[in-house]
Protein backbone atom coordinates (compact mmCIF):
# COMPACT_ATOMS: atom_id res chain seq x y z
CA UNK A 1 0.00 0.00 0.00
CA UNK A 2 2.87 2.27 0.93
CA UNK A 3 4.30 2.06 -2.58
CA UNK A 4 1.04 3.06 -4.16
CA UNK A 5 0.68 6.18 -2.04
CA UNK A 6 4.30 7.01 -2.67
CA UNK A 7 3.83 6.65 -6.43
CA UNK A 8 0.68 8.75 -6.37
CA UNK A 9 2.45 11.50 -4.52
CA UNK A 10 5.36 11.39 -6.92
CA UNK A 11 3.42 11.08 -10.22
CA UNK A 12 4.77 14.36 -11.53
CA UNK A 13 8.27 13.15 -10.97
CA UNK A 14 7.60 9.93 -12.90
CA UNK A 15 6.01 11.85 -15.76
CA UNK A 16 9.03 14.11 -15.93
CA UNK A 17 11.34 11.07 -16.07
CA UNK A 18 9.28 9.55 -18.87
CA UNK A 19 9.28 12.75 -20.95
CA UNK A 20 13.05 13.15 -20.50
CA UNK A 21 13.64 9.58 -21.62
CA UNK A 22 11.51 10.03 -24.73
CA UNK A 23 13.31 13.27 -25.61
CA UNK A 24 16.72 11.66 -25.13
CA UNK A 25 15.89 8.64 -27.25
CA UNK A 26 14.57 10.84 -30.04
CA UNK A 27 17.64 13.04 -29.91
CA UNK A 28 19.88 9.99 -30.12
CA UNK A 29 18.01 8.68 -33.12
CA UNK A 30 18.13 12.10 -34.77
CA UNK A 31 21.87 12.47 -34.28
CA UNK A 32 22.39 8.92 -35.44
CA UNK A 33 20.61 9.70 -38.67
CA UNK A 34 21.90 13.11 -39.50
CA UNK A 35 25.22 13.44 -37.73
CA UNK A 36 27.39 11.09 -39.74
CA UNK A 37 25.64 12.01 -42.94
CA UNK A 38 26.89 15.59 -42.79
CA UNK A 39 30.42 14.35 -42.59
CA UNK A 40 29.74 11.60 -45.02
CA UNK A 41 31.30 13.14 -48.07
CA UNK A 42 34.55 13.70 -46.24
CA UNK A 43 34.58 10.46 -44.32
CA UNK A 44 33.69 8.33 -47.29
CA UNK A 45 36.42 9.77 -49.36
CA UNK A 46 38.92 8.87 -46.71
CA UNK A 47 37.52 5.46 -46.25
CA UNK A 48 37.62 4.28 -49.79
CA UNK A 49 40.37 1.75 -49.79
CA UNK A 50 40.16 -1.79 -48.56
CA UNK A 51 42.06 -0.97 -45.42
CA UNK A 52 40.76 -1.55 -42.04
CA UNK A 53 39.19 -4.91 -42.41
CA UNK A 54 40.36 -7.30 -39.80
CA UNK A 55 40.94 -10.62 -41.42
CA UNK A 56 38.22 -12.89 -40.31
CA UNK A 57 39.71 -16.16 -39.23
CA UNK A 58 37.95 -19.04 -40.79
CA UNK A 59 38.42 -22.53 -39.50
CA UNK A 60 41.34 -23.79 -41.54
CA UNK A 61 40.77 -27.40 -40.70
CA UNK A 62 37.48 -27.08 -42.52
CA UNK A 63 39.72 -27.96 -45.41
CA UNK A 64 37.14 -28.40 -48.10
CA UNK A 65 34.55 -26.19 -49.62
CA UNK A 66 32.20 -28.86 -50.79
CA UNK A 67 28.53 -28.62 -49.97
CA UNK A 68 28.99 -30.80 -46.92
CA UNK A 69 31.63 -28.50 -45.55
CA UNK A 70 29.27 -25.59 -45.90
CA UNK A 71 26.62 -27.46 -44.00
CA UNK A 72 29.07 -28.19 -41.18
CA UNK A 73 30.08 -24.63 -40.99
CA UNK A 74 26.51 -23.49 -40.91
CA UNK A 75 25.81 -25.51 -37.79
CA UNK A 76 28.68 -24.07 -35.83
CA UNK A 77 28.73 -20.69 -37.41
CA UNK A 78 30.81 -18.58 -35.05
CA UNK A 79 29.52 -15.37 -36.61
CA UNK A 80 25.93 -15.56 -35.57
CA UNK A 81 23.00 -17.57 -36.70
CA UNK A 82 21.48 -15.64 -39.54
CA UNK A 83 23.84 -16.99 -42.14
CA UNK A 84 22.34 -20.41 -41.60
CA UNK A 85 19.06 -19.50 -43.19
CA UNK A 86 20.69 -18.75 -46.47
CA UNK A 87 22.99 -21.67 -46.40
CA UNK A 88 20.19 -24.02 -45.76
CA UNK A 89 19.93 -26.34 -48.70
CA UNK A 90 16.22 -26.74 -48.42
CA UNK A 91 15.75 -23.02 -48.63
CA UNK A 92 18.01 -22.61 -51.57
CA UNK A 93 16.17 -25.37 -53.37
CA UNK A 94 12.95 -23.58 -52.65
CA UNK A 95 14.48 -20.46 -54.06
CA UNK A 96 15.47 -22.22 -57.22
CA UNK A 97 11.95 -23.56 -57.43
CA UNK A 98 10.66 -20.02 -57.13
CA UNK A 99 12.98 -18.97 -59.87
CA UNK A 100 11.79 -21.80 -62.04
CA UNK A 101 8.23 -20.62 -61.46
CA UNK A 102 9.31 -17.26 -62.76
CA UNK A 103 10.55 -18.86 -65.92
CA UNK A 104 14.21 -18.86 -64.97
CA UNK A 105 16.45 -21.49 -66.42
CA UNK A 106 20.16 -21.36 -65.79
CA UNK A 107 21.00 -22.73 -69.20
CA UNK A 108 18.56 -20.63 -71.10
CA UNK A 109 19.27 -16.94 -70.66
CA UNK A 110 15.86 -15.44 -71.11
CA UNK A 111 16.63 -11.87 -71.79
CA UNK A 112 20.27 -11.04 -72.08
CA UNK A 113 21.39 -7.47 -72.42
CA UNK A 114 22.45 -7.07 -76.02
CA UNK A 115 25.55 -5.16 -74.96
CA UNK A 116 26.62 -7.80 -72.54
CA UNK A 117 29.44 -9.88 -73.78
CA UNK A 118 28.21 -13.30 -72.79
CA UNK A 119 30.90 -15.87 -72.32
CA UNK A 120 31.17 -19.58 -72.25
CA UNK A 121 34.42 -20.05 -70.42
CA UNK A 122 35.21 -18.52 -67.08
CA UNK A 123 38.58 -20.04 -66.43
CA UNK A 124 41.86 -18.28 -66.08
CA UNK A 125 43.65 -18.22 -69.40
CA UNK A 126 47.36 -18.62 -69.66
CA UNK A 127 49.22 -16.78 -72.30
CA UNK A 128 51.59 -19.73 -72.36
CA UNK A 129 50.96 -23.41 -72.61
CA UNK A 130 49.71 -24.73 -69.27
CA UNK A 131 52.81 -24.09 -67.26
CA UNK A 132 51.87 -22.82 -63.84
CA UNK A 133 55.33 -21.81 -62.82
CA UNK A 134 56.03 -19.51 -65.69
CA UNK A 135 55.83 -15.78 -65.40
CA UNK A 136 52.70 -13.91 -66.18
CA UNK A 137 54.31 -11.97 -68.95
CA UNK A 138 56.90 -13.89 -70.83
CA UNK A 139 59.27 -11.17 -71.69
CA UNK A 140 62.12 -12.79 -73.42
CA UNK A 141 60.80 -15.98 -74.88
CA UNK A 142 62.31 -17.29 -78.08
CA UNK A 143 58.94 -17.72 -79.68
CA UNK A 144 57.60 -14.26 -79.27
CA UNK A 145 54.00 -14.56 -78.14
CA UNK A 146 53.42 -10.91 -78.42
CA UNK A 147 54.47 -10.71 -82.04
CA UNK A 148 52.21 -13.67 -82.80
CA UNK A 149 49.33 -12.14 -80.98
CA UNK A 150 49.69 -8.83 -82.74
CA UNK A 151 49.94 -10.55 -86.09
CA UNK A 152 46.93 -12.74 -85.40
CA UNK A 153 44.92 -9.67 -84.63
CA UNK A 154 46.09 -8.12 -87.88
CA UNK A 155 47.28 -5.07 -85.97
CA UNK A 156 50.47 -3.16 -86.44
CA UNK A 157 52.94 -2.53 -83.74
CA UNK A 158 54.05 1.07 -83.61
CA UNK A 159 54.48 3.48 -80.79
CA UNK A 160 52.10 6.26 -79.92
CA UNK A 161 53.91 8.15 -82.67
CA UNK A 162 52.05 6.13 -85.30
CA UNK A 163 48.74 7.87 -84.66
CA UNK A 164 49.59 10.71 -82.31
CA UNK A 165 52.83 12.14 -83.51
CA UNK A 166 53.74 15.70 -82.52
CA UNK A 167 56.60 17.34 -84.41
CA UNK A 168 58.19 19.02 -81.39
CA UNK A 169 57.93 15.80 -79.42
CA UNK A 170 59.77 13.97 -82.20
CA UNK A 171 62.61 16.46 -81.78
CA UNK A 172 62.54 16.08 -78.02
CA UNK A 173 62.79 12.31 -78.38
CA UNK A 174 65.89 12.70 -80.55
CA UNK A 175 67.46 14.90 -77.91
CA UNK A 176 66.57 12.35 -75.23
CA UNK A 177 68.18 9.59 -77.22
CA UNK A 178 71.39 11.49 -77.64
CA UNK A 179 71.59 12.56 -73.97
CA UNK A 180 71.16 9.03 -72.58
CA UNK A 181 72.88 7.19 -75.41
CA UNK A 182 75.04 4.92 -73.30
CA UNK A 183 72.98 4.73 -70.14
CA UNK A 184 70.44 2.08 -69.11
CA UNK A 185 67.73 4.65 -69.85
CA UNK A 186 68.71 4.85 -73.51
CA UNK A 187 65.82 4.33 -75.87
CA UNK A 188 66.65 2.00 -78.70
CA UNK A 189 63.91 2.31 -81.29
CA UNK A 190 64.35 -1.24 -82.54
CA UNK A 191 63.99 -3.34 -79.41
CA UNK A 192 60.80 -4.35 -77.67
CA UNK A 193 59.30 -2.26 -74.91
CA UNK A 194 59.26 -5.16 -72.46
CA UNK A 195 63.02 -5.61 -72.86
CA UNK A 196 63.51 -1.91 -72.20
CA UNK A 197 61.25 -2.18 -69.16
CA UNK A 198 63.08 -5.18 -67.80
CA UNK A 199 66.44 -3.44 -68.16
CA UNK A 200 65.21 -0.44 -66.18
CA UNK A 201 63.43 -2.53 -63.55
CA UNK A 202 66.54 -4.63 -63.01
CA UNK A 203 68.23 -1.52 -61.57
CA UNK A 204 65.76 -1.55 -58.70
CA UNK A 205 66.97 -2.20 -55.18
CA UNK A 206 64.14 -4.25 -53.77
CA UNK A 207 64.71 -3.38 -50.13
CA UNK A 208 63.62 -5.36 -47.07
CA UNK A 209 60.31 -7.14 -46.44
CA UNK A 210 57.60 -6.22 -43.98
CA UNK A 211 58.91 -6.80 -40.46
CA UNK A 212 56.15 -9.16 -39.41
CA UNK A 213 56.74 -11.42 -42.42
CA UNK A 214 60.47 -11.97 -42.10
CA UNK A 215 60.10 -15.51 -40.80
CA UNK A 216 56.80 -16.37 -42.39
CA UNK A 217 56.25 -19.89 -43.67
CA UNK A 218 53.97 -19.57 -46.65
CA UNK A 219 51.95 -22.06 -48.57
CA UNK A 220 49.19 -20.18 -50.34
CA UNK A 221 49.86 -17.71 -53.11
CA UNK A 222 48.27 -14.83 -51.19
CA UNK A 223 50.56 -15.52 -48.22
CA UNK A 224 53.61 -15.42 -50.45
CA UNK A 225 52.34 -12.18 -51.95
CA UNK A 226 52.13 -10.65 -48.47
CA UNK A 227 55.52 -11.88 -47.40
CA UNK A 228 57.19 -10.72 -50.61
CA UNK A 229 56.14 -7.08 -50.29
CA UNK A 230 59.32 -5.02 -50.37
CA UNK A 231 60.29 -1.49 -49.54
CA UNK A 232 60.44 -0.47 -53.19
CA UNK A 233 57.70 -2.55 -54.83
CA UNK A 234 54.46 -4.24 -53.90
CA UNK A 235 55.24 -7.35 -55.92
CA UNK A 236 57.74 -8.78 -58.35
CA UNK A 237 56.10 -9.72 -61.65
CA UNK A 238 58.89 -12.17 -62.45
CA UNK A 239 58.09 -14.38 -59.46
CA UNK A 240 55.75 -17.31 -60.00
CA UNK A 241 53.48 -16.43 -57.10
CA UNK A 242 51.90 -13.52 -58.93
CA UNK A 243 50.49 -15.73 -61.60
CA UNK A 244 49.33 -18.30 -59.03
CA UNK A 245 47.66 -15.56 -57.04
CA UNK A 246 45.74 -14.30 -60.06
CA UNK A 247 44.77 -17.82 -60.93
CA UNK A 248 43.66 -18.63 -57.40
CA UNK A 249 41.48 -15.54 -57.28
CA UNK A 250 39.68 -16.84 -60.36
CA UNK A 251 39.54 -20.56 -59.68
CA UNK A 252 39.21 -21.08 -55.93
CA UNK A 253 35.79 -21.67 -54.50
CA UNK A 254 34.09 -18.76 -52.71
CA UNK A 255 33.47 -19.60 -49.04
CA UNK A 256 32.35 -16.31 -47.58
CA UNK A 257 30.89 -12.99 -48.68
CA UNK A 258 30.58 -9.79 -46.74
CA UNK A 259 29.73 -6.30 -47.76
CA UNK A 260 32.59 -3.93 -47.14
CA UNK A 261 31.34 -1.28 -44.81
CA UNK A 262 32.11 2.36 -45.11
CA UNK A 263 32.78 2.94 -48.80
CA UNK A 264 30.59 5.05 -51.02
CA UNK A 265 29.72 2.29 -53.44
CA UNK A 266 29.13 -1.39 -53.04
CA UNK A 267 32.11 -3.69 -52.68
CA UNK A 268 32.15 -7.20 -51.40
CA UNK A 269 34.84 -8.93 -49.41
CA UNK A 270 35.13 -12.39 -50.84
CA UNK A 271 36.95 -15.13 -48.96
CA UNK A 272 38.16 -18.06 -50.98
CA UNK A 273 38.73 -21.65 -49.93
CA UNK A 274 42.45 -21.02 -49.36
CA UNK A 275 41.50 -18.30 -46.84
CA UNK A 276 42.71 -15.63 -49.23
CA UNK A 277 40.55 -12.55 -49.42
CA UNK A 278 39.74 -10.26 -52.30
CA UNK A 279 37.80 -7.09 -52.81
CA UNK A 280 35.07 -7.71 -55.36
CA UNK A 281 33.67 -4.84 -57.39
CA UNK A 282 30.72 -5.90 -59.53
CA UNK A 283 30.10 -4.95 -63.12
CA UNK A 284 27.32 -2.41 -63.50
CA UNK A 285 27.46 -1.37 -67.12
CA UNK A 286 28.72 -2.56 -70.45
CA UNK A 287 32.27 -1.52 -71.30
CA UNK A 288 31.08 1.10 -73.78
CA UNK A 289 29.29 3.12 -71.10
CA UNK A 290 31.22 6.32 -70.37
CA UNK A 291 31.02 8.61 -67.36
CA UNK A 292 27.76 10.53 -67.49
CA UNK A 293 28.57 14.09 -68.60
CA UNK A 294 26.75 15.64 -65.64
CA UNK A 295 28.30 13.44 -62.99
CA UNK A 296 31.10 14.87 -60.90
CA UNK A 297 34.19 12.73 -60.46
CA UNK A 298 33.13 11.88 -56.93
CA UNK A 299 29.70 10.72 -58.03
CA UNK A 300 30.90 8.62 -60.95
CA UNK A 301 30.12 4.92 -60.84
CA UNK A 302 32.97 2.58 -60.16
CA UNK A 303 34.00 0.33 -63.00
CA UNK A 304 35.31 -3.14 -62.31
CA UNK A 305 37.19 -3.20 -65.60
CA UNK A 306 39.02 0.00 -64.65
CA UNK A 307 40.42 -1.81 -61.62
CA UNK A 308 41.70 -4.62 -63.81
CA UNK A 309 43.07 -2.32 -66.49
CA UNK A 310 44.81 -0.18 -63.87
CA UNK A 311 46.62 -3.24 -62.54
CA UNK A 312 47.91 -4.12 -66.00
CA UNK A 313 48.90 -0.55 -66.81
CA UNK A 314 50.77 -0.20 -63.52
CA UNK A 315 52.61 -3.42 -64.25
CA UNK A 316 53.48 -2.33 -67.80
CA UNK A 317 54.85 0.94 -66.48
CA UNK A 318 57.01 -1.09 -64.12
CA UNK A 319 55.58 0.66 -61.05
CA UNK A 320 54.23 -2.43 -59.24
CA UNK A 321 52.13 -0.31 -56.92
CA UNK A 322 48.60 -1.62 -57.65
CA UNK A 323 47.45 -4.82 -55.87
CA UNK A 324 47.02 -7.78 -58.23
CA UNK A 325 43.55 -7.62 -59.74
CA UNK A 326 41.72 -10.02 -62.01
CA UNK A 327 38.26 -10.47 -63.47
CA UNK A 328 35.95 -13.20 -62.26
CA UNK A 329 32.46 -14.31 -63.12
CA UNK A 330 30.45 -15.41 -60.08
CA UNK A 331 27.11 -17.12 -59.70
CA UNK A 332 24.92 -14.56 -57.91
CA UNK A 333 22.88 -17.28 -56.27
CA UNK A 334 25.55 -19.83 -55.40
CA UNK A 335 28.55 -17.59 -54.71
CA UNK A 336 26.93 -14.46 -53.29
CA UNK A 337 23.37 -14.85 -52.06
CA UNK A 338 23.90 -18.22 -50.41
CA UNK A 339 26.85 -16.91 -48.40
CA UNK A 340 25.49 -13.48 -47.52
CA UNK A 341 24.34 -12.48 -44.08
CA UNK A 342 20.74 -11.51 -43.48
CA UNK A 343 21.24 -7.82 -44.12
CA UNK A 344 22.91 -8.28 -47.47
CA UNK A 345 20.71 -11.21 -48.50
CA UNK A 346 17.62 -9.05 -48.08
CA UNK A 347 18.78 -6.85 -50.96
CA UNK A 348 18.73 -9.69 -53.51
CA UNK A 349 15.77 -9.98 -55.86
CA UNK A 350 14.69 -11.35 -59.18
CA UNK A 351 14.26 -8.57 -61.75
CA UNK A 352 11.28 -8.37 -64.10
CA UNK A 353 13.59 -9.56 -66.88
CA UNK A 354 14.34 -12.67 -64.83
CA UNK A 355 17.86 -11.69 -63.84
CA UNK A 356 19.32 -12.19 -60.38
CA UNK A 357 19.99 -8.77 -58.88
CA UNK A 358 21.04 -7.17 -55.63
CA UNK A 359 21.95 -3.70 -54.45
CA UNK A 360 23.51 -4.00 -51.00
CA UNK A 361 23.48 -1.03 -48.67
CA UNK A 362 25.80 1.93 -49.09
CA UNK A 363 25.56 5.65 -49.62
CA UNK A 364 25.62 5.90 -53.43
CA UNK A 365 23.61 3.79 -55.86
CA UNK A 366 22.57 1.10 -53.38
CA UNK A 367 18.85 0.90 -54.04
CA UNK A 368 16.52 -0.99 -56.33
CA UNK A 369 16.78 1.68 -59.01
CA UNK A 370 20.52 0.95 -59.27
CA UNK A 371 20.58 -2.82 -59.11
CA UNK A 372 23.59 -4.96 -59.89
CA UNK A 373 22.34 -7.78 -62.04
CA UNK A 374 23.55 -11.10 -63.29
CA UNK A 375 22.88 -12.21 -66.85
CA UNK A 376 20.73 -13.94 -65.81
CA UNK A 377 22.61 -15.39 -62.85
CA UNK A 378 26.30 -15.00 -63.67
CA UNK A 379 27.85 -11.68 -62.72
CA UNK A 380 31.19 -10.30 -63.73
CA UNK A 381 33.41 -8.38 -61.38
CA UNK A 382 36.97 -7.57 -60.40
CA UNK A 383 38.87 -9.34 -57.64
CA UNK A 384 41.68 -7.34 -56.06
CA UNK A 385 44.01 -9.16 -53.70
CA UNK A 386 43.85 -7.95 -50.12
CA UNK A 387 46.93 -6.36 -48.66
CA UNK A 388 48.29 -7.73 -45.37
CA UNK A 389 45.92 -7.10 -42.47
CA UNK A 390 46.65 -3.85 -40.65
CA UNK A 391 47.45 -5.74 -37.47
CA UNK A 392 50.46 -7.20 -39.22
CA UNK A 393 51.46 -4.36 -41.51
CA UNK A 394 50.24 -0.92 -40.56
CA UNK A 395 49.68 1.54 -43.34
CA UNK A 396 49.88 5.28 -43.24
CA UNK A 397 47.31 7.30 -45.13
CA UNK A 398 48.48 10.60 -46.59
CA UNK A 399 46.43 13.36 -48.05
CA UNK A 400 47.29 13.94 -51.68
CA UNK A 401 48.66 17.52 -51.85
CA UNK A 402 46.83 17.85 -55.19
CA UNK A 403 43.56 16.57 -53.76
CA UNK A 404 40.44 17.94 -55.42
CA UNK A 405 37.83 19.89 -53.49
CA UNK A 406 35.09 17.21 -53.55
CA UNK A 407 32.57 20.01 -53.75
CA UNK A 408 30.22 21.11 -56.47
CA UNK A 409 31.07 24.74 -55.87
CA UNK A 410 34.62 25.06 -54.67
CA UNK A 411 37.93 24.65 -56.39
CA UNK A 412 41.09 23.42 -54.72
CA UNK A 413 44.04 25.75 -54.11
CA UNK A 414 46.13 24.24 -56.89
CA UNK A 415 43.36 24.73 -59.44
CA UNK A 416 43.57 28.49 -58.92
CA UNK A 417 47.27 28.91 -58.15
CA UNK A 418 50.38 27.54 -59.74
CA UNK A 419 52.68 27.69 -56.74
CA UNK A 420 51.59 24.64 -54.74
CA UNK A 421 54.64 22.68 -55.80
CA UNK A 422 57.04 25.35 -54.53
CA UNK A 423 55.37 25.13 -51.13
CA UNK A 424 55.18 21.36 -51.04
CA UNK A 425 58.83 20.96 -52.00
CA UNK A 426 59.88 22.60 -48.75
CA UNK A 427 57.78 20.37 -46.53
CA UNK A 428 58.44 16.97 -45.10
CA UNK A 429 58.30 14.30 -46.49
CA UNK A 430 58.38 15.92 -49.93
CA UNK A 431 61.65 17.75 -49.35
CA UNK A 432 63.86 14.67 -49.39
CA UNK A 433 64.01 11.23 -50.94
CA UNK A 434 61.67 9.72 -53.46
CA UNK A 435 58.30 11.00 -52.27
CA UNK A 436 57.75 14.02 -54.51
CA UNK A 437 58.76 12.12 -57.63
CA UNK A 438 56.41 9.33 -56.57
CA UNK A 439 53.57 11.84 -56.43
CA UNK A 440 54.49 12.87 -59.96
CA UNK A 441 54.53 9.22 -61.08
CA UNK A 442 51.08 8.87 -59.56
CA UNK A 443 49.93 11.91 -61.55
CA UNK A 444 51.30 10.34 -64.74
CA UNK A 445 49.43 7.15 -63.90
CA UNK A 446 46.18 8.98 -63.14
CA UNK A 447 46.48 11.07 -66.27
CA UNK A 448 46.86 7.94 -68.38
CA UNK A 449 43.86 6.27 -66.76
CA UNK A 450 41.82 9.47 -66.44
CA UNK A 451 41.28 9.02 -62.70
CA UNK A 452 40.26 12.26 -60.95
CA UNK A 453 39.52 10.55 -57.66
CA UNK A 454 42.92 10.44 -55.98
CA UNK A 455 42.28 12.08 -52.63
CA UNK A 456 44.67 10.03 -50.52
CA UNK A 457 47.46 7.60 -50.96
CA UNK A 458 49.03 5.07 -48.63
CA UNK A 459 52.40 3.68 -47.67
CA UNK A 460 53.50 0.82 -45.46
CA UNK A 461 54.60 2.15 -42.10
CA UNK A 462 57.39 -0.41 -41.77
CA UNK A 463 59.27 1.25 -44.60
CA UNK A 464 58.95 4.78 -43.27
CA UNK A 465 58.97 7.58 -45.86
CA UNK A 466 61.44 6.15 -48.33
CA UNK A 467 59.04 3.77 -49.99
CA UNK A 468 56.63 3.45 -52.92
CA UNK A 469 53.06 4.75 -52.84
CA UNK A 470 50.19 2.32 -53.12
CA UNK A 471 47.89 3.18 -56.01
CA UNK A 472 44.66 1.79 -54.56
CA UNK A 473 41.11 2.36 -55.80
CA UNK A 474 41.18 2.90 -59.51
CA UNK A 475 37.50 2.18 -60.05
CA UNK A 476 36.77 5.64 -61.37
CA UNK A 477 39.46 5.50 -64.02
CA UNK A 478 38.78 4.90 -67.73
CA UNK A 479 35.54 6.85 -67.67
CA UNK A 480 35.96 9.17 -70.65
CA UNK A 481 37.88 7.97 -73.65
CA UNK A 482 37.62 11.17 -75.67
CA UNK A 483 38.68 13.47 -72.87
CA UNK A 484 42.17 13.89 -71.44
CA UNK A 485 42.15 15.08 -67.87
CA UNK A 486 44.77 17.80 -68.08
CA UNK A 487 44.17 18.78 -64.46
CA UNK A 488 45.22 15.25 -63.43
CA UNK A 489 48.72 16.04 -64.59
CA UNK A 490 48.85 19.36 -62.69
CA UNK A 491 51.56 18.09 -60.29
CA UNK A 492 53.92 17.47 -63.21
CA UNK A 493 53.02 20.73 -64.91
CA UNK A 494 53.38 22.78 -61.76
CA UNK A 495 56.57 21.14 -60.54
CA UNK A 496 57.94 20.84 -64.06
CA UNK A 497 59.68 17.65 -63.00
CA UNK A 498 59.57 13.98 -63.86
CA UNK A 499 61.56 10.91 -62.82
CA UNK A 500 64.06 9.82 -65.46
CA UNK A 501 63.05 6.15 -65.38
CA UNK A 502 59.40 7.07 -65.94
CA UNK A 503 60.21 9.47 -68.74
CA UNK A 504 62.40 6.88 -70.41
CA UNK A 505 59.48 4.43 -70.49
CA UNK A 506 57.17 7.08 -71.94
CA UNK A 507 59.69 7.99 -74.61
CA UNK A 508 60.00 4.32 -75.48
CA UNK A 509 56.21 3.96 -75.69
CA UNK A 510 56.10 6.97 -77.96
CA UNK A 511 58.88 5.75 -80.23
CA UNK A 512 57.71 2.18 -80.64
CA UNK A 513 57.88 -0.37 -81.99
CA UNK A 514 55.29 -1.30 -79.36
CA UNK A 515 52.50 1.07 -78.45
CA UNK A 516 50.94 1.18 -75.01
CA UNK A 517 47.59 0.17 -76.49
CA UNK A 518 49.10 -2.95 -78.06
CA UNK A 519 50.91 -3.88 -74.87
CA UNK A 520 47.79 -3.40 -72.80
CA UNK A 521 45.68 -5.40 -75.20
CA UNK A 522 48.18 -8.22 -74.99
CA UNK A 523 48.63 -8.08 -71.23
CA UNK A 524 44.89 -8.01 -70.52
CA UNK A 525 44.31 -10.86 -72.94
CA UNK A 526 45.18 -13.28 -70.12
CA UNK A 527 42.25 -12.07 -68.04
CA UNK A 528 39.15 -14.29 -67.88
CA UNK A 529 36.85 -11.38 -68.68
CA UNK A 530 38.93 -10.05 -71.57
CA UNK A 531 38.43 -7.74 -73.44
CA UNK A 532 38.83 -5.40 -70.49
CA UNK A 533 38.88 -2.06 -72.28
CA UNK A 534 37.09 -1.04 -75.44
CA UNK A 535 39.24 0.20 -78.28
CA UNK A 536 38.56 3.90 -77.68
CA UNK A 537 40.13 3.69 -74.21
CA UNK A 538 43.17 1.86 -75.57
CA UNK A 539 43.65 4.51 -78.23
CA UNK A 540 43.33 7.17 -75.53
CA UNK A 541 46.36 5.68 -73.78
CA UNK A 542 48.54 6.26 -76.85
CA UNK A 543 47.21 9.78 -77.24
CA UNK A 544 47.98 10.54 -73.60
CA UNK A 545 51.53 9.24 -73.91
CA UNK A 546 52.12 11.85 -76.63
CA UNK A 547 50.52 14.56 -74.53
CA UNK A 548 52.66 13.69 -71.51
CA UNK A 549 55.82 14.16 -73.54
CA UNK A 550 54.47 17.43 -74.85
CA UNK A 551 53.97 18.63 -71.28
CA UNK A 552 57.57 17.79 -70.37
CA UNK A 553 58.70 19.51 -73.51
CA UNK A 554 56.84 22.70 -72.62
CA UNK A 555 58.64 22.78 -69.26
CA UNK A 556 61.94 22.80 -71.10
CA UNK A 557 60.56 25.40 -73.50
CA UNK A 558 59.74 27.62 -70.50
CA UNK A 559 63.46 27.91 -69.88
CA UNK A 560 64.00 25.22 -67.25
CA UNK A 561 67.20 23.29 -67.69
CA UNK A 562 67.25 19.62 -68.64
CA UNK A 563 68.53 18.53 -65.25
CA UNK A 564 65.98 20.61 -63.39
CA UNK A 565 63.14 18.89 -65.22
CA UNK A 566 64.39 15.34 -65.67
CA UNK A 567 65.48 13.96 -62.33
CA UNK A 568 67.58 10.86 -62.01
CA UNK A 569 66.98 9.70 -58.44
CA UNK A 570 67.97 6.12 -59.21
CA UNK A 571 64.47 4.86 -58.45
CA UNK A 572 62.92 2.64 -61.08
Ligand X SMILES: *[C@@H]1O[C@H](CO)[C@@H](O)[C@H](O)[C@H]1NC(C)=O
**Interface contacts to ligand X, rule CB under 6 A:** 59, 61-64, 66, 72, 92, 96, 106, 120-121, 123, 155-156, 158, 162-163, 331, 333-334, 377-378, 428-429, 464-465, 515, 517, 539, 542
Closest separation in Å from C-beta 477 to ligand X: 20
Closest separation in Å from C-beta 99 to ligand X: 9
The 10 Å Cβ neighbour count of residue 311 is 26
Contact 273, 255 (CB under 8 A): yes
Residue 345 in marked binding region: no
| Strand 566-567 with 498-499, pairing | parallel
**Active-site residue identified among 256, 438, 453, 514:** 453
Contact 284, 301 (CB under 8 A): yes
Q: Which residue number, 155 or 184, has a Cβ lying nearer to ligand X?
A: 155
Q: Which residue number, 430 or 447, has a Cβ lying nearer to ligand X?
A: 430
Closest separation in Å from C-beta 559 to ligand X: 31
453 noted as active-site residue: yes
Give the start-end residues of each E strand in 487-554: 498-499
Sign of the CA dihedral 307, 313, 316, 322? negative
Helix (H) or strand (E) run with residue 373 in it = strand 372-373
- Rounded to the nearest 5 degrees, what angle is found at the Cα of 13, between the Cα atoms of 7 and 18? 100
Residue 302 in marked binding region: yes
Q: Which residues pair with 372 in a beta bridge?
A: 358
DSSP state of 388: P
Q: Which residue number, 20 or 156, has a Cβ lying nearer to ligand X?
A: 156
Order of strands across the sheet with 372-373? 348-350, 356-358, 372-373
Residue 245 in marked binding region: no
Angstrom distance (rounded) from CA 97 to CA 209: 52
Cβ-in-10-Å burial (0-12, 13-18, 19+) of 29 comes to: exposed
Q: Which residue number, 68 or 178, has a Cβ lying nearer to ligand X?
A: 68
Buried-exposed string 519-558: b where 16+ CB fall within 10 A, e elsewhere: bbbbbbbbbbbbebbbeebbbbbbbbbbbbbebbbebbee
Omega before 376 cis (within 30°)? yes
DSSP state of 291: P
CA atoms within 13 A on the CB side of 203: 16
Angstrom distance (rounded) from CA 544 to CA 447: 8
Residue 425 in marked binding region: no
Contact 498, 444 (CB under 8 A): yes
Helix (H) or strand (E) run with residue 310 in it = helix 304-316
Residue 290 in marked binding region: no
Contact 532, 305 (CB under 8 A): yes
Closest separation in Å from C-beta 378 to ligand X: 5
Q: Which residue number, 57 or 409, has a Cβ lying nearer to ligand X?
A: 57
Closest separation in Å from C-beta 167 to ligand X: 18
Q: Which residue number, 64 or 289, has a Cβ lying nearer to ligand X?
A: 64
Residue 89 in marked binding region: no
Closest separation in Å from C-beta 391 to ligand X: 19
Closest separation in Å from C-beta 333 to ligand X: 4
Residue 385 in marked binding region: yes
Q: Which residue number, 184 or 429, has a Cβ lying nearer to ligand X?
A: 429
Residue 499, SS3?
strand
Residue 387 in marked binding region: yes
Residue 141 in marked binding region: no
List binding-site positions for ATP: 265, 281, 302, 384-387, 458, 473
- Binding-site positions read 265, 281, 302, 384-387, 458, 473
* Active-site amino acid positions: 453
Q: Which residues are annotated as a binding site for Mn(2+)?
A: 302, 473
Amino acid sequence: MGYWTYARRRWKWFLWLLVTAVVLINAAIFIGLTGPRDQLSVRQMEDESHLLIARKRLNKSRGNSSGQAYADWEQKDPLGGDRGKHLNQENSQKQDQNLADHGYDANQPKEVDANYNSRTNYTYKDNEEDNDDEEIIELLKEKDDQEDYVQQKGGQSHGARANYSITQVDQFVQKFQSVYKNSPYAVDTESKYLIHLRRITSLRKKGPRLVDYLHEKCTHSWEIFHSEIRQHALYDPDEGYLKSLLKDMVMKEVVDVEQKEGGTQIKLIITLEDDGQSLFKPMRFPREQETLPDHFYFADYERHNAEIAAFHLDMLLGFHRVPPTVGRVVNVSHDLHRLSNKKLARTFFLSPAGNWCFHGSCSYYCDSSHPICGHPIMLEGSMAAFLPPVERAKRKTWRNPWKRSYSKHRKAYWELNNDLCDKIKEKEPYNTGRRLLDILDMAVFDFLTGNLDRHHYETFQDFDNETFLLHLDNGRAFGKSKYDCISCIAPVRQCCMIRLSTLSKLVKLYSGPDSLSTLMRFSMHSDPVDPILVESHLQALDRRVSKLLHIILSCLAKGKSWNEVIIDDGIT
